[in-house]
Structure 1
Amino acid sequence: MALHAYRAKRNFKATPEPEGKTTKSGPVLRYVIQKHDARNLHYDFRLELDGVLKSWAVPKGPSLDPAVKRLAVQVEDHPIAYGDFEGVIPPHQYGSGKVMLWDRGTWQPLEDAAKGYAKGHLHFRLNGEKLKGTWDLIRMHHRPDDKRDVENWLLVKVDDDAARTGAAAEVTDELDKSVATGRLIDEIDDAPVAARASSRTNDAVAHTAAKRSRGKPTSPAESTLPIMVKPQLASLVTTLPVNHQHWIAEIKFDGYRMLARIEAGSARLYSRNAKDWTSRLEKIASELAQLPLDTAWLDGELVGVKPDGSMSFQSLQNAFADDPGNDKPPRLMYYIFDVLFLDGVDIRPEPLLTRKQKLAALLDKLPKNSALRLSDHLQGQMDDAFAHACHHGLEGLILKRADAPYESVRNRNWLKLKCQQRQEFVVGGFTAPEGSRSGFGALLLGTYDADGHFQYAGRVGTGFNEKMLKLLATRLEQLERKTAPFDDATSRIAPRERAHVHWVKPELVVEVRFAEWTAEKRLRQAAFLGLRPDKPAHAVVPETPVDVPKAPSKPVAQAIKVKAKPASQSAATDVAGVSITHPGRIVFPGTGDTKLAIARYYQAVADYVLPQLHDRPLTLVRCPQGAEHPCFFQKHLSDSLPEGLTAIDIAGESGSARYMIANDLHSVIALVQSGVLELHTWGSTAKTLEKPDRLIFDLDPAPEVAWQTVVEGAQLLKGLLEELDLPTFLKTTGGKGLHVEVPLKPSLNWEEAKALTHVLASHLATALPERFVAIMSKAQRTGRIFVDYLRNARGATAVAAYSTRARETPSVATPISWDELPWLESASFWTIHNVPDRLAQQKVGPWAEYDQQRVRLTDSLRQRFASS
């Protein structure tokens, strides 16, 4: 409804303006000014608010003089997509005339934006390519005799460093070119012109410097940019390379491989099989065209990102479905991991790390809401990285030789290590549906061998929803043929199976997850994951693991972890004696909180968080680029971590390993500087490592469980523990659950602690099976709370009290009293913004008696516990 007036005034079959839609605004709000040569020349001033561009027509344009108040007539809301529009609105259409992108950037409300807008006074700061500083938009009162339904506002510059007077204040006279294409308003035409970022704005000095930093580029006529490039492919392996220092690791994205060709201010995107996807990815192509370069080939992966920040192959498929249904379309992101050609130079022969550094320089000034992302990498600690990838449901890792060139083949310089078996197959037939099943029963799958023979590999009959069954049934009907496409000499389809099969042309490629290959070379326990329109059928071969390459005779130079370095974020700030680099880097996308804000939070709560960490081995969650980017667990002390951490050697089944302890504020802040967002601790201290000093029950609800049910579950557990005369302390996790802790005097060993908590968790699950479950199986957790007793095993950890969490917003695991629980809104209620004030106002914290309440589990108490 917010865009009803906008759409009602326009015929989108006749005008090139975007129809657009209302979207959810994020933490970074967009601002744009468009110079509009319509019936009367004016400037359209637009601010993103509530998913649309609130818009005002400013006849004389903005002035930098605080004494000058410019009339701003409010007009209908415009879609966010309108902020990229530059072109000609045809005659006889609403607003006909030329539209030029005069300025763009972001704006920051200095007071509550919704309240200010309703009240009629917006006080804000602009960070545009032309306009900066603080401004006011003030609504004027109607005169009693004024019958017009328009709202008149005043646009006023606040007196600050960006203010000017006299001729210097008339910024529209001095800066008269498009920030997108560098054209004057008279040069705007109706030909499609791709935006070229701010490199053609009036700020030519910055653009010239950027070009000089890469050397002299070639002109389009001199360009050696090839028309097409074949991608390099990775070989499947089953183990990590032995010499980690020679390799880098990247996340194996669950998406579509895409290569981007950029030339002459235009970008095109191609799939792995050289199909042009540009028309489906216009926004991403537009952003690629804005990069500060003249020509390039880039390599990356297109992924679908769900609202919770996770990547989903299914949601990526839905984004291109003809009938997406009621599902909210995912956000499409292009993760770029390599640059092959740059400004007329073929850089494929250069080492991978050199190419990655050049790529990072290209992407270091992307706006926070960009659909482009640098695919970062890690060197060292690959065991932890792989474990973290699998733990969080990722497909696996891509391992690349740090010194290798880019080669358009499949070789052993690029490896893929998967958490589970999955690969592409070609559909050669299908069976008829049975019972209530619609569409078809199962797909018959195959792959091509080295001689081009199409060989049968088994069938898949699970993993389809109704929408996919319908879609595939239509596609299969169009491909149906009379004879089997599988090679007769190698086909292993039993005659009794053939009688019920419909054959199809082997053109449709699907991705399948499976448990293993049988001795007959058929898939076992296969499940459908999705279609792969990005891959050609003839290229689908069995993925046979290869041996991991041996270490080279000469060592590779130490890899540099590439990170984007926005100029505005490069200045260092000291916190507790630690230099925080990139202090302005946004770590939590939901609120815009920065790396510096996290460091200052820990400084503010040091007296509370340090006792929780004291002498306890740590496991870290590191998110070098922030919570919205890939994170990984790290439990071993390594050279990549800051100095000052206390080392502790802990014996394990395969030998001793070095863990870490953070006993002072300097160490904690240094971890923040290293990208750590979560601190998890052992349930014992270094002094009594083999004897836990707490029991912990982690109440982990299934996604559909209401918060009130979690509250009631914690209260039930409290009652059960109190019947055993055990003290209980409560903590929010900062996520969706609660921790109930029992402080102990170290006396039990780990096996005893786990066994006792298992008994109690099982008791709850047996007594109230509709509420609780004591096993990890997700299939059995639907609608219930998992009582996780495994936190009490040796080596297991739990998030420390007062630790931040790696989520969209800066939630904090927070101790609370049982009296507070009934009114608490959620387990993520406490954040870095309200916890310091909470602690400052409390005379006695909810865990003040934690150490004094420690109990020793005597034999009689343990017997009562075990028989509960």
Structure 2
Amino acid sequence: MADKGEMVEVDGHRLRLTNLDKVMYPATGTTKRDVIDYYARIAPVLLPHSTNRPATRKRWVHGVGTASKPGDMFFQKNLDDSTPGWVKRREIEHKDHSNEYPLVNDLATLTWLAQIAALEIHVPQWQFGRTGVRHNPDRLVLDLDPGEGAGLAECAEVARLARAILTGMGLDPMPVTSGSKGIHLYAALDGKQDSAAVSAVAHELARALEADHPDLVVSDMKKTLRDGKVLVDWSQNNGNKTTITPYSLRGRERPMVAAPRTWRELASKDLEHLDMEQVLARVKRRGDPLAGLTAGHLGALEPTEQRMAGFDRLEKYRSMRDGSKTPEPVPADAAEPTDGQSFVIQEHHARRLHYDFRLEHDGVLVSWAIPKNVPTDRKTNHLAVQTEDHPLEYGSFEGTIPKGEYGAGEVTIWDSGTYELEKWRDGEEVIATLHGEKHGSHRYALIHTGGNGRAGGAHSSNNWLIHLMADADEPHHAPPPKKVPSKKRATKAPPSPMLATLGTAQTLRHEKDWAFEMKWDGYRAIAEVRDGTVRLLSRNGNDLTAAWPEFDELAEAIDGDAIFDAEIVALNKAGRPDFSRLQSRAKLTKKAEITKARESTPAHLFVFDILERNGESLVGESYDERRAALLDAVTERGAIRVPPAFEGDLDSAIASSRELKLEGVMAKRRDAVYRPGRRSDDWVKIKHHRSQEVVVVGWRPGAGNRSHRVGSLLLGIPEKDGLRYIGRVGTGFTEKELDDLRGRLARMQRATSPVSDVPGADARDAHWVTPKLVGEVEFAEWTPTGRLRQASWRGLRADKTVADVTLETPS
């Protein structure tokens, strides 16, 4: 039978691992499972040396074999069609062809390489920049390769001789025993010289060593000259050459490693190559001796004003146009840096109608082609394909590009004006507010999709999405209330959480009577600390403690015992709550998975209320008194946070919430007590958008290539007489969610509908399920017949039961 393997999730990417018990190193019995485990454990120190470098792989699909019968090995440069779509990659043009290489930037890619038996990973001494520009080398390498009759001791001696020369040049060489025969010497560079210049220096250094030590060193590649000597191979500084990545395995008889070493180790008479177990143990004990290779010097590679002055950003633009044949501006000189912030959107009737979106930045118009023009609503993102930079003069260009020329067709200005820049991360994200002369002011975000040149064609690495954003507001923060001591006696069991009603800003009277907090997009939890032990309970009483071990820090953040009302929140890279990331963590149950997820999906416990302290109940105290006691009790540390509150300033609270892209604001009456387990008008939810918790009652299959998957969910909401049908939702799902839902729903299938008032069009091909799953949707409004209009899925609510779901209507 075929090995179906194990489906795992690594850094949010799904990957099937197969043939895990296959022996890759027969001499030691090392299996593919062992190889994958090694790369997972060594990733934190390996990845800094491979990131953004195009990787050539040496693969042993059937294992390395033995000394008498070596396994079959092959080099692989170009990526094949089986490569997962999420693998980051870059294309390199060669004389007669181009190759697409993976970038080993993350654990998921490293795991995939181990799965396909790519035991050795080789990379050049240069990196791609964030926009795909090929940088100058950021490191020099010498490969000290012993000839017949020489060994590791001779290589170490030559390494010390080379170190003296390199140190005199102002460099700090660091040794790596290659795991094969010799030693590699690395030295960090500032990126000011190209590969040819670095190779020339390395060649001269090799010749100098040979001249001073002719009996020990050779710089010529001829094998006949190498007996009893050490070849100082300088050629790996060529921009087309690669070297084994530090910490990569080797395809030897045993699982040896290219292992960074210290100079003290090189002086030992017992110096030898290290295998993977030895390397894992020493890294755990002493870290990465090669860490200095990536620390600090790479800053010289960033596009500073000085570096940009020598870089012609219009070279590609000019290469695609003949100024004698097209009316487009074709300046002869390189672009000069500017501080301007102009923009233009041009309607371009080329082979296909599209719109060219251009922002002035660093002396050029950074450009994207948008097939459907800029989006007009915040629920729809449009594709934007980044193209070559254009000259500033193009901002006023209108005319007809002749047939046969690049971009042939009519160009007119759809809108132009100036923009306010909020964020510019090259190759990743741009946020700006455009002030147009024709279409007014709009705030847009351009977000790179991480495309990879597969699904989207050869240039999908240039694919972005453009998103219409809400207008930005400046947040203002009010000081916290003064601390007030508390005196009530304790309750014996943790109280249930107090619940809020839905309202609007107009709901509140006498704004000064209210305090305002952010509405965090997470899982509600009661956190209890007893005798230094932390216990977390969900809103429906489930014990969450094991799933969130990082919150054990809460016991260290306070003195004594306490009970808190809190929200478990997962933050994205921008530091904003991300409910989908939280969901992926909440599903984990195995200790090893949870431990790994703590690094890939860090979570925080936002403690916003205190219900008991050192045996004294605080639920009968006012909000102001509890807030003061909370600030006095908790010292923020690690994953433990006390979010801010705003006193009597709703506008500032709403502005901050919008800026942070949160759900909305929680208004809490300052003189109100805490009402465990009760929904009260003393707490009011004010949301930026409408949302509703729902019960899944069935699903309908999709169309086309989604016919075997969930196309939409059918939804209900509890009422006195049972569940009422409120419509369906078919957007907002990730591919991963659709796969997960299909499996869950298959186990819940039933023959009859749990709701009675489903329209025939929705019921026609419906699959009904037992109504147990609770989710949440965003929507535009309720229809007159009580249906959701324009619903979008937000995710499952594992922290809620059907009994918790109520109709959310403003009071």
TM-score (norm 2): 0.40
TM-score (norm 1): 0.38
